[in-house]
Structure 1
Amino acid sequence: MKLAAITLDCADPLALAAFYQQATGLEPHPKSDAEFAGLTRGDGLFIGFQRVDGYRAPSWPDQTVPQQLHLDFAVADLDAAEAELLLLGAGRPDHQLDEARWRVLTDPAGHPFCLVRDTAGQTS
């Protein structure tokens, strides 16, 4: 079994795809539209963003609206990656568990994601 896709619910698929495209450098899927947008990587991994009527952003760290899932991104420099993503429109919750090892940010649709220190020397 091979992971082929990850899909996130949101109110604006094109806007959320643009955020993740800028953050990761993945290529926009040519058939992206206002209902479903996607990004692809050369090895076939697909990240999708689907429009959901009445979408409610997760509330982290409380679970009023559960986060349901989150993505982790390995980075060489936590401070530099955090600063870049904040400029792209990410949010930074006040509650941080261990800022020396990882940072919790939220994408423009409110999904929490983590930046983790890349201990292998390779970033994704």
Structure 2
Amino acid sequence: MSHPQLLHTVLDAVDVRREAEFWRELLGLVYRAGDEVPDGPGAVDDHDWLVLTHADGRRALAFQQVAEQARSTWPDQQVPMQLHLDLTVPDVDELAEQHARALALGATVLLDRTDDADEPLYVYADPEGHPFCIFVA
């Protein structure tokens, strides 16, 4: 029996380039050919759909332009998460390093559970408000 294959996860974004840049920098991904940031005098960035891949070309994330979207209010359920990404690091030192990177790139801390001996973690919102976690696995 054959099964569908997951191509990538798509995130809606009001500012599609800012969202793609956040995740590109955080995860060390690259743009699919043709989706790169326009370069040169008078360059216009009119992309409404961007794709990020791994260095070997495997797709990872895509970003779709939307006119508006409500930010998740998690942990309050008025606007639930609906979907979130889990990212792992090998140890607490790396967690601290990636925490600093995520903040510098524009993430907002929603929950600090670094005092949990079994599974230290942070829950963040990306620049568009999509929740994601970084934890020690």
TM-score range, shorter chain: 0.7 to 0.9
Contact 2:32 2:57 in 1 (8 A): no
Q: Larger Rg: 1 or 2? A: 2
Shift of 1:103: 1.1
- What is the deviation of 1:66? 1.6
Say if 1:59 and 1:65, in contact at 8 Å, map to a contact too. yes
Paired with 1:113 and 1:85, the residues of 2 have a C-alpha distance of 11
What is the CA RMSD across the aligned residues, in angstroms? 1.6
Identify the match of residue 105 of structure 1 among 113, 117, 124: 124
What TM-score do the two structures reach when normalised by structure 1? 0.84
Q: Please list, as runs of the form range in 1=range in 2, the aligned pairs for 1:20-99 lying within 5 A after superposition.
A: 20-32=23-35, 33-41=46-54, 42=56, 44-76=58-90, 77-93=94-110, 95-96=111-112, 98-99=113-114
By how many angstroms is 1:4 displaced?
A: 1.4
Contact 1:31/1:37, CA 8 A, preserved across alignment: no
Match of 1:13 in 2: 16
Deviation at 1:43, TM superposition (A): 5.9
Q: Report if aligned partners of 1:17, 1:37 keep a CA contact under 8 Å in 2.
A: yes
C-alpha displacement at 1:34, in angstroms? 2.9
Amino acid at match of 1:82: H
Normalised by the length of structure 2, the TM-score is: 0.76
Count of matched residue positions in the alignment of Structure 1 and Structure 2: 116
Which residue of structure 1 lines up, in the alignment, with residue 42 of structure 2? none
Q: Deviations over 1:61-119 (max 9, x none)?
A: 112112110001111321111111101111012x44x323221011000110000213x
Contact between 1:12 and 1:34, CA under 8 Å: does it hold in 2? no
Q: What percent of counterpart residues are identical? A: 34
Deviation at 1:17, TM superposition (A): 0.4
Q: What are the ranges of 5 or more consecutive residues in structure 1 without an aligned counterpart?
A: 119-124
